[in-house]
Structure 1
Amino acid sequence: MIQDVIHKSIVSNIDAVNDWFKQKGNQLKFPIYSSYDIRDSGYKVAPVDANIYPAGFNNICQIDYEGAVQIFKRYMDKKYPGVNHIALLAEEHTKNPYYWDNISKILGIIKGADKKACVGWAKDMTEDFVAENSIGEEIVVHPIKRQGNKITMHGHQVDFIVSNNDFSVSYDGYFKGAEVIVDPFYELGWFRRRKHDFFRHYNTLVEEFCKVIDLDPWLMSVETSLFENFDLNDQETLHRLAHEVDVLLKKQKEKFIQYDRSEDPFVIIKNNSGTYGLAVLTVNSAEEVLAFNNKARKKMKATKGGGGVNQVVIQEGIPTRLISEEETAEPALYMIGDELAGGFLRAHKQKGPNESLNSPGAIYKRLCVSDLKINVEGYPLENVYGWLAKLGVLAIGKEIDQFSL
C-alpha cells in the first residue's frame, strides 16, 4: 500500500521534513482550528476537503481530546496571552443535538485551558436560547450584539471570539471594523472563501514536500480545476463541463497506466464554496454530464442558505479503500493552530468507495493521533494522515496570506 511507502519516506527524512514544515510555517498565520477529510485509495492518499470552522470535536478520541486542551492553551498563550474571556460563536441553523455535542466539547477545551467561555449567536435576539445536546445537557446561547464599534454579550464587551460558524453569509455588519478578534477570521467564511484556492496551494506544497521525501507528488495530490458560470439549465455549460470532465478522466487514466492500475477513473463535481457535503456529484464519463437527470440537477442546487451554485470544482476522484465493520470509511484529522489535535474515522453503511461519506447516516469511529507521540514509526496510517493535515494547514495559511489577513 502506498501509505507504507510514504510513511517510510517521511520517517527516513524526518529531520528534513520537520525543518521544512517549520520554515514554511514561520512565514504564515494559522486559524485556531481546522479539519481535513482524507481519502486513502491504497494507490494515493490526499485531503478532499478542508474546513476552517469544523464541527465534530465530539468524535475525536478521549486521549486526543485531553491533548487538545494543552494544544489550545499553547496556541492562546503564544498568540493571545492577555485573553481570558472567550465567546464561542455557534451555527444558527440547527437544533441537531450532535452539533451541540461538538459545541460542548469545544467549550470544554476552552475552559480546560483556564479561559472563561460562553456561547453566542450573532443575530437579533431578545432573550437567551437554550440548546440541548444528545445526552440532555443544556447549552445557553446568548445574543451577541454590536454597539458602535464594540461587540457585547449580556451587557459586557467581548474582546475575543472563537467562531464555529462557517460564515456562509457575510457578517460584515457585525464584525467589519469592530473592536474584536475573531479566530478563525470571519473573512475566511464561505461567503468569500473558495475551494479551488485551497487545492491550488495544497498541490503546490505537495510538490515541494515530495522533493524533500523523494516521491512522485501525484501520490499525495488531488488534481482540481475551477469551472465558472455553472448553469445546468444551459446546454453550452453542460458541453463545456463534459469536455473538462473528459480531459481530467484521460489524465487520470494515463497515471493509472503508469502505476499499473486496472480500475476506471472517476471525477467529483462540487460547489466551489460551502460545506455539509451539499452539491456534490460523482461522474464516470463525459456522457453522464450530458445526461444529467432532474435528481442530479436538484442535488447541484442544494446549498446552505439556498444561495445557489455558480462555480464548481472538477476534482479527480479518489476512492477509499478503508472498510470498518463492513462500512465504507475515511479519516478526518483535526488541527489546532499548526499542531495535530485529533481524528476519527467517518463510516457509512449505505455509501460506496467512490461516494461522499459526509452525508446523513454517517457514524464515527476511533482514530487517535496521540499514538504518534508514543512511536511515530509504529503508526504509519496516523503518520501519513497527520502529515496530510499539516500540509493542509499550510495551504490554509497560504489562503490567509492571499487575503492579506
Structure 2
Amino acid sequence: MVPHLITALTGPINELEQRVLESMPAIERWFRLEWMEHTPPFYSSVDLRNAGFKLAPVDTNLFPGGFNNLTQEMLPLAVQAAMAAIEKICPEAKNLLLVPEAKNRGSFYLSNVATLMRIFTMAGLNVRLGSLDESIKEPTTITLPDATTLTLEPLLRQRSRLGLKDFDPCTILLNDDLSAGVPDLLTHLHEQYLLPPLHAGWANRRKSQHFKAYEEVSKKFAKLLGMDPWLIYPQSVAVDGLDFNTGAGLDALQSQVDAVLTKTRRKYKEYGIQEKPFVVVKPDAGTHGLGIMTIRDAKDLDALAPRAREKLAGLKSVPALSQVLVQEGVVTHERMHDAVAEPVVYMMDRYVVGGFYRVHAERAEDENLNAPGSSFVPLAFAHSSHLPAPGEKPGASAPNRFYMYGVIGRLAMLAASYELETTDPEAEDYA
C-alpha cells in the first residue's frame, strides 16, 4: 500500500528516485564502506517528509517506540537484524535486560515493549523487563488488550552491574530516551553493554548536533550521485540563550528564521516551486512532539513569546526551553484516505527492518503529525520479495519508493553514528 502524492508524478523527487535506482550498486557499496568506519546506532527510527520536490528526514529517534506497528511479515527482518547486532556486540550473549520508559503504562507503548521482547527472544536471548519506576518493588504483571502479559521487575544494582533478582545480563537495552535525566542506576556500569549509550539520551543529545552531522552525510551522498544535497537535507540552525518569558534571544531567533526562509525562497525559485516556504521551530532536545511551531514569516515571531510560553509550559527540560532548532519546513504531499501522511522508517543495526505511515486527519501538510489523534498504516516493506525495479517509471512502483525511503532513513542513521562519535564523552576529541 502506498499513499498517493497530490503533486504531479514529475519533478525533482522522481528524478532523485530514478538516480537512486540507477546508482543502487554504488550506493550500497558506499554504505558498506561507511559502516566499516562507523558504528550504527543499535536501533533507530526516522520520520521522513515527501514534498514531491524534496525528500528529507525531520526527526531521528534513537530510542524508538512503535515496534508494534510493524507487521508480522516484517518481524523476520527485525529478528535477523537483532541477531547481527547482538553478535557484533556480545557474541556470547544469553540474557538481555530490557528497560522501558519508567512511567509509561499506556497499552500502545507496552505493546511496543512486548514486540521488542518477542524480537529478541526469537533472536535467541532470555529477555526480562527491569523497571526504572521506583514504585515497582516486586514483579508486577500487566495484561495488554490482546491478552499478552508483561512482567515488570525492580532493577537491582550490585556494585558495577545492573540486573534483576537471579538475572545477570550481558546486555542492557534501553527503550527510555532519558529526557528526564540519567538515573544513577545506569551510570558507571562495567563489563555490561548498555545500548544505546547514555549520551544518546535527550539528557545530553541535541537535534542540532544530529542535523549538523546529517548535513555532512547528505553532502557526501550528493557528491556520490552528482546531485544537489538540498533535495534531501532540511536547512537547520540552532539558536541558544532563549528565554521566552523575558524575550531574551528572540532577536537572534528572528534573524535565523529570516535567514532560513530567505535561503529556502532562493531554492524554491531555482526549482520553480510555487509554494510559500516556512520554518519549523522546535526544542533542541526531544519533547515527544511538544512545543513545535510552524512559522511562515519572521514577523510572526513578535507574537511568539506568549504562544511559546503556552506551548512549552509542560516542558521541564531547561535546554528545551533555552535552545531551539530552526529548521526549513518540509511539507508532506502524501495522503492516505485523504488524510495527511508521512513515512517512518525503522532500522536495527545497519538494516531497514520495516516502517509505517503516520497519518493524521486533523493536521495540515505543514504541521507536525506526531501528535494525539495520529494513526498508523504499515509500509509495504513487508513484501521483502518485492525488490526495487530500476526499469519502472519513477513514482509508479511502491518497492522503488520504499527503497528510496530506506536510503534516506539509512543516511539519517549514518548521521546519528557520526553524531554519537562526536558527542562521546570518552572520545579523546570530545569537547
- 304 and 385 in structure 1: CA distance in 2 versus 1, 3 angstrom threshold: farther
Alignment of 1:294 with 2:340, yes or no, is no
C-alpha displacement at 1:15, in angstroms? 1.7
Q: Post-superposition shift, 1:123?
A: 4.2
Give CA deviations for 1:303-333 in whole Å, capped at 9, x if unaligned: 3678851110000000000110011100000
**Among 19, 31, 38, which residue is 1:9 paired with?**
19
Match of 2:256 in 1: 244
CA distance in 1, matches of 2:299, 2:404: 36
Cα separation, partners in 2 of 1:304 and 1:54, compared to 1, 3 Å: farther
Tell me what 1:20 maps to: 30
Cα distance in 1 for partners of 2:353, 2:287 equals 21
Residue equivalent to 2:393: none
Please report how far the alpha carbon of residue 373 of structure 1 lies from its aligned counterpart in structure 2 after TM superposition.
4.7
Select between 230-239 and 340-349 the one with higher mean Cα deviation: 230-239
More divergent stretch after superposition (190-199 vs 76-85):
76-85
What is the distance in 1 between the residues matched to 2:199 and 2:180? 10
Counterparts of residues 212-227 of structure 1 (less than 5 Å): 212-227=224-239
Matching of residue 46 in structure 1 with residue 56 in structure 2: yes
What is the TM-score normalised by the length of structure 2? 0.90
Alignment of 1:127 with 2:138, yes or no, is yes
Name the structure 1 match of 2:188: 177
1:402 counterpart = 2:402: no
1:319 is the counterpart of 2:331: yes
1:206-251 deviation digits (Å, cap 9, x = unpaired): 1111111111111001110010012112334222211211111111
Sort the Cα spacing of 1:327 and 1:338 in 2 relative to 1 into closer, same or farther, 3 A.
Answer: same
Q: Secondary structure at the match of 1:119?
A: strand
Q: Map residues 132-211 of structure 1 onto 2, 5 A cutoff.
A: 132-171=143-182, 173-179=184-190, 180-211=192-223
* Counterpart residue number, 1:390: 410
Aligned counterparts of 1:172 and 1:95: Cα–Cα separation in 2: 19
Corresponding residue SS for 1:26:
helix
Alignment of 1:54-65 (within 5 A): 54-65=64-75
Q: Secondary structure at the match of 2:321?
A: coil
On the 8 A contact 2:94/2:169 being kept in 1, the answer is no
C-alpha distance 146-279 of structure 1, shift in aligned 2 (>3 A): same
Gaps of 5+ in 2: 1-9, 390-396, 427-431
Q: Could you tell me which of 288, 294, 317 is aligned with 1:282?
A: 294
Cα distance per residue 1:330-379 (max 9 Å; x no partner): 00000100110110000001100000000000000020324465321242
The equivalent of 1:29 in structure 2 is 39
Q: Is the 8 A contact 2:174 2:195 kept in 1?
A: yes
Paired residues of 2:95 and 2:168 also in contact (CA < 8 A): no
2:354 is aligned to 342
Is residue 3–residue 384 contact of structure 1 (8 Å, CA) maintained in 2? no
Secondary structure, aligned partner of 1:347: strand
* 1:83 aligns with one of 93, 118, 121: 93
Distance in 2 (CA, whole Å) between partners of 1:132 and 1:187 is: 33
Partner of 2:372: 360
How far does the alpha carbon of each residue in 1:249-294 deviate from its partner, in whole angstroms, 9 at most, with x for none? 1111111111111111000000101141011111111111111263
> Any gaps of 5 or more consecutive residues in structure 1?
none
Could you give the per-residue CA deviations for residues 105-125 of structure 1, whole angstroms, max 9, x where no partner exists? 001100111111011113433
Correspondence for 1:108: 118
Once superposed, what is the RMSD of the aligned Cα atoms? 1.8
Question: For the Cα contact (< 8 Å) 2:21–2:400, is it kept in 1?
Answer: no
**Partner secondary structure for residue 309 of structure 1:** helix
Counting aligned pairs with the same residue, the percent is: 27
Post-superposition Cα deviations, 1:116-163, rounded to whole Å, max 9, x if no partner, equal 101111343322233343324221111112121121202432321111
